[in-house]
Structure 1
Amino acid sequence: MVGGSATYFAHAARYFSPVGVVGVVGTDFPDSVIGDFSSRDIDSRGIEVAEGKTFRWAGRYEADWNTRTTLDTQLNVFAEFDPKIPGDYRSSDYLFLANAEPALQRKALDQVETPKFVLADTMNLWIETARADLDMLLREVDGLVINDEEAFLLTGKRNLFVAAEEILKMGPRILILKKGEHGAFLLGEGLRFALPAYPVAEVVDPTGAGDSFAGGFMGYIASVANVEPSTLRRAMLYGTVTASFCVEGFSVETLAHRNRAQIESRFDELHSLLSV
């Protein structure tokens, strides 16, 4: 089943803005998937095809969908990946650094000339094994998106808002804290915004929901070309909506086959939940 951060992010972001993807796949990766990118106006010139097998991950979710156990991880060609940003991508104003080793994220960031807003993702593994590189990355990005457990691990604080304040001192201007079915928080200087998840009737597979959220969030920001507080709040809603489509199917089978009208309909429903 096709997955990966770039796949989910790109399929969500393209509803709002043109998107270019940088990554690596093996010779076993289906040509049809690359063709599907092109048919949906996703620029795939930054995808390198390397000799060998594509990265693979297998996991098991518990009944609550919040607890996940990794069963197998095979880095394959990703183990030797050296990101190279295509020339015309380097002038991009908005950049998402998907979850990867922080040294690789910094290497990609260094190749983009003067981005206006950079959002990064990370995970427990890099917090525990690549902390020095991660600390440097946090000083160079505008935003960080992580879940609550990652925030606790990163700071050693068990109070969510105390942990958030500590992370903001590390460099990012904004922090997005993901809480799965319980929604997400957006925090920054003078900025606190809590958002519930969109009420999905049936969750099929939550894999990729975080990257789909990031795609909707960044895609909307790029479409309006500013990061004012009101824009960031609206972007949170759009990210939540694109994530809700992701979890309704395996891979991108649902996310890839929506339209902007369906996204706007769910945006309006979610917005109505915030009204008193």
Structure 2
Amino acid sequence: MADLAVVGHIAIDRVIDSGGCRRQLGGSPAYVSLVARRLGLDAGAVTKVGGDMPAPLLDQLRGLGIDLRGQVVEDAETTRFTLDYRWAERRLSVESVCEAIGPEDVRGLPSAVLISPILGEVPPETAHAISADLVALDPQGLVREVRRGGSIGPKPWFDVGLLRRVDIYKSSERELRLVAGEDDPWRGLGRVLGLGPEAAVATRGAEGALLMTGGDRYFVPAYAPAEVVDPTGAGDAFMGGFLSEYLRGGEGPWCAAVGSAAASCVVETAGVSMEASAGELRRRAEEIYDGAVRL
């Protein structure tokens, strides 16, 4: 059994940037598995894909250790996103959404679970049915809604019952505002942490991350990558690094440093891939950790 299960859709991403257009693997399970395997852990997926998933992407998933047996809905379409980076702010739209993940799909999971939907595919009844020793949440797909023409926009979300069952919370600073309803990120993290999580993180891209655990606050810097080739999946890579160390008993600031290092490694290549070795990832994490500040 995997060390960690990631609950959320695997996707096919159409990425548009200054270099043109390409289709590639997407979704939190793929990026988390990539980082976890690089750090010596196995992450499986609780997901749904359609019968249209291309064979090369299925092969790539197998290479990541993701077993899709029983999770392919032959008469459905795989979730497909378009991510357009030609603008100052990324534009996100959806082409298709696969079948939702049901409560019956989340039975018999490993002791650690990450709930990380990309567009509402983990309904409340499914999220509340998850039972594990460690439950982590990335609410990225809970604060999105589909608008005219398939464009994706933000929406508020706050589920007290689920947040009370979560041990680790991570979102971007913008997503945190939609969850906690607070403009100040520390107030937002405090509101989330007050419901029960052991640690709450707000990522800020190149400006690092904010971590609150217990009564302590930390600023964890980002690592400047050699080149940003593809920013897709950086947040998922962060969570993969964070949880890989947390499951080994790492303290919060170190886990966040590993997460930040993992994100810097992933954005240096296109898609779900990483050229950096585990040793290079940890070297970056040590540099980041040395720069972390308790506030």
State the TM-score bracket (shorter-chain normalisation): 0.7 to 0.9
% identical equivalent positions: 25
2:242–2:259 contact (8 Å) kept in structure 1: yes
Higher helix share: 1
Q: Which moved more, 1:14-23 or 1:99-108?
A: 99-108
1:53 Cα deviation after fit: 1.9
Cα distance in 2 for residues equivalent to 1:216 and 1:47: 28
Distance 1:163 1:125, change over 3 A: same
Equivalence for 1:271: 289
2:127–2:162 contact (8 Å) kept in structure 1: no
The two structures have a TM-score, normalised by structure 2, of 0.76
Equivalence for 1:52: 76
User: Number of paired residues?
Assistant: 257
The two structures have a TM-score, normalised by structure 1, of 0.81
Cα distance in 1 for residues equivalent to 2:87 and 2:144: 24
1:85–1:108 contact (8 Å) kept in structure 2: no
Cα distance in 2 for residues equivalent to 1:149 and 1:266: 26
RMSD: 2.7
Distance 1:272 1:170, change over 3 A: closer
**Is 2:233 the partner of 1:219?**
no
Paired letter, 1:245: C
**Equivalent of 1:68, from 79, 86, 90?**
90
1:134-145 equivalences under 5 Å are 134-145=159-170
Runs of 4+ residues deviating >4 angstroms: 83-87
Cα shift readout 1:157-181 (whole Å, capped 9, x = no counterpart): 2222122222222332321101111
2:50–2:76 contact (8 Å) kept in structure 1: yes
1:254-265 equivalences under 5 Å are 255=274, 257-265=275-283
SS at match of 2:183: coil
Cα distance in 1 for residues equivalent to 2:136 and 2:181: 22
1:150 Cα deviation after fit: 2.1
1:49-198 equivalences under 5 Å are 49-50=72-73, 51-61=75-85, 67-70=89-92, 72-78=93-99, 80-82=100-102, 84-85=104-105, 89-90=108-109, 92-100=110-118, 101=120, 104=123, 107-108=126-127, 110-112=129-131, 115-123=132-140, 124-125=143-144, 128=155, 131=158, 134-198=159-223
Cα distance in 1 for residues equivalent to 2:121 and 2:261: 28
